[in-house]
Amino acid sequence: MSKPNIEAHKRHVLMCTGKSCGENIPLLKSLKAKVTAAGLDAGEDAVRVNRAGCLGVCEQGPIMVVHPEGVWYCNLTEEKMDRIVEEHFKQHKPVTEFTFHGAE
Q: Which domains does the chain have, with CATH numbers?
A: 11-101 (3.40.30.10)
pLDDT recorded at residue 59: 79
Angle at the Cα of 13 from the Cα atoms of 11 and 15, rounded to 5 degrees: 175
Q: Does 80 score more than 90 pLDDT?
A: yes
Answer yes or no: is pLDDT of 104 > 90.
no
Q: Taking the model in full, what pTM does it have?
A: 0.91
First to last CA, the chain: 43
Longest pairwise C-alpha distance within the chain: 47
Nearest-angstrom CA–CA distance, 91 and 70: 17
Q: What is the mean pLDDT of the chain?
A: 92
For residue 22, the model assigns a pLDDT of: 64
**Ranges 2-6, 24-28, 58-62, 83-87, most confident:** 83-87
